[in-house]
Amino acid sequence: MSRKLRVAFHEGVISQFAGYEVLAELDWDAYRACYGDIRRLDRILEAEGDRGNRYRASKQADVLMLGYLFSPSELRQVFARLGYEPDDALWTRTVDYYLRRTSHGSTLSGLVHGWVLARARGADAWTYVAEVLAGDVADVQGGTTQEGIHLGAMAGTLDLVQRGLTGLETRNGALWLDPVPCPQLSEYGFSLRYRGHVGITVRVRAKDLRISAPASQRSPIDIRLPTTTLSLARGETCSLPPHER
């Protein structure tokens, strides 16, 4: 099935479903001017006797969930396997298209869009990271915090920093890193376990990316970055300036 799925397109972007383009466009500016916060656009439309299913409008990430599940390079491989040959700008156009048509009526929406933008537009991701962090503290949903915290969004924010902002992946026998420039975070770091190495540390700063491997009897670790490939031996620390990432 995964090799025979049909994907619909319209206006040079990935369609949410076949026929999506016949839905009406919503006047987003008019609704923001009238209501201010339109996160719960679905409730606003219902109160007006309307329904969201008539419009090209999403409460949270739908098509853009692809960018949460797959990096742009992985997504190109998936499309190629399905027999499609999209141009390099397809995903960027798709992100911009649906970003303009999403109300973010779920605390998970900011999390997913943060991931997508970390992979597609770098530092633009921080706006959504900050929103997810403030989700329960500021009760951005307007009354939901008293009913319980959004644990999935909270845990997802940590994952976004660890994997989304660092570009951390494990594939083809190597540890891949592609840090996103994020001026709002002067420095951050974490430890991970990889191929039996317990306590590999990754620290990202504006001036360098530092990776340390613990002392052990394990084989060296292959590290791959966009412009650099290196082998990190046990007990070794490697520091890379920004231009070598």
* Closest CA relative to residue 72, chosen from 226, 204, 194: 226
Stated as kind and residue range, the H or E segment containing 69 is helix 66-69
- Measured distance CA(75)–CA(59) in Å, rounded: 23
Record the pTM.
0.80
Separation between Cα atoms, residue 235 and residue 218, nearest integer Å: 10
If you count DSSP H runs as helices and E runs as strands, how many of each does the chain have, helices first? Answer: 8, 10
What does the pLDDT average to over 45-57? Answer: 94
**pLDDT higher than threshold 60 for residue 224:** yes
What is the length of the chain?
245
pLDDT tens string 114-142: 888 888 766 677 888 787 777 777 776 66
Given a cut of 60, whether residue 244 has pLDDT beyond it is: no
Check if the beta carbon of residue 95 is closer than 8 Å to that of residue 66: no
24-28, 56-60, 227-231: lowest mean pLDDT where?
227-231
210: Cα within 13 Å, side-chain hemisphere: 14
> Within 10 A of 150 (CB to CB), how many other CB atoms are there?
20
pLDDT of the residue at 91: 92
Return the residue matching tokens 């503290």. 137
Q: What is the mean pLDDT of residues 232-244?
A: 79
Specify the amino acid at residue 189: G
Mean pLDDT of 67-92: 88
pLDDT for residue 46: 94
pLDDT for the residue numbered 232: 86
pLDDT at 100 over 90: yes
Q: Which of 47-56, 192-201, 212-221 has the highest mean pLDDT?
A: 47-56
